[in-house]
Amino acid sequence: MMIYVSIFAALTVQLGPPPPLISVVQLADEGTTADGRAATQTIIEKLQPGYVRVRPSEVSAEALEACRTDPSPVEVCLSEALGRAGAASGHVVLMTQEKDGVLHWLCVGRNAGPFTAARQSVELGPLADLYSDGESELLHRAAACLTYAGNQSGW
C-alpha cells in the first residue's frame, strides 16, 4: 500500500502545472563585479525548473540603457522602456546590483500592473556568504522577485 501512495504522490507532482515561463532581459549595474554576475547566473540556473523557467527576452539590453541616466526612478523608466520596446506579457528586466559586497536584484515588468517594491527589489545576501540564510530561502526570494515582475507584466 505504501508503494502505491508514493507512486501516486510522485505522479501528482509531475502532473501539476509547469512553473511560469519568464522572458528576462538581464542588466547589471556598473558596480556589479564579475562575482556578482556569476552568482546571478548560478541562481538563475538553480531556479530552473522547480521555481520558474527563464528564457532570454527578445528585447535587447540596449533598448533599456537610457534608464541608467534617466532622472526618473529606475523601475519606472525600465517598465516604460519595456512597453516602448514592445515587450509582451511575462517579459521582465532583471537588474543585478551590488552594494558593499551584497547582491541585490531589481525585477521590473512592463506597465501592465503595479510595481511591488518589497517583492521586486530584494537583497539576496553578501557575495562572500550568499547562502547564509540557506539555499532555499535565497531561491524563494529570487523566484518571488521574478514572478512579481511577471505579474507586473500582465500575466
Q: What is the pLDDT along the chain (155 residues), one digit of tens a residue?
A: 556 545 554 545 556 778 889 999 999 998 999 999 999 999 999 999 889 999 999 999 999 999 989 999 999 999 999 999 999 899 999 999 999 999 999 999 998 889 999 999 999 999 988 887 788 999 999 999 999 999 999 88
Is residue 14, in this structure, part of any structural domain at all? no
Is residue 13, in this structure, part of any structural domain at all? no
Structural contact between residues 111 and 117, judged by C-beta atoms closer than 8 angstroms: no
Domain span at residue 116?
A: 20-152
Structural contact between residues 133 and 69, judged by C-beta atoms closer than 8 angstroms: no
Is residue 118, in this structure, part of any structural domain at all? yes
DSSP 53: E
Cis peptide before 49 (omega within 30 of 0): yes
Is residue 5, in this structure, part of any structural domain at all? no
Tens-digit pLDDT profile for residues 72-95: 999 999 999 999 999 989 999 999
What pTM, to 2 d.p., does this model score? 0.85
Tally of structural domains, the chain = 1
CB atoms within 10 A of CB 16: 8
Is residue 75, in this structure, part of any structural domain at all? yes
pLDDT at position 2: 54
* Mean per-residue pLDDT over the chain, rounded: 88
pLDDT at position 19: 86
Structural contact between residues 79 and 152, judged by C-beta atoms closer than 8 angstroms: yes
β-strand pairing of 91-99 with 53-56: unpaired
Unique residue bearing C-alpha cell 546571478: 40
Is residue 6, in this structure, part of any structural domain at all? no
Is residue 4, in this structure, part of any structural domain at all? no
pLDDT at position 14: 59
pLDDT at position 5: 47
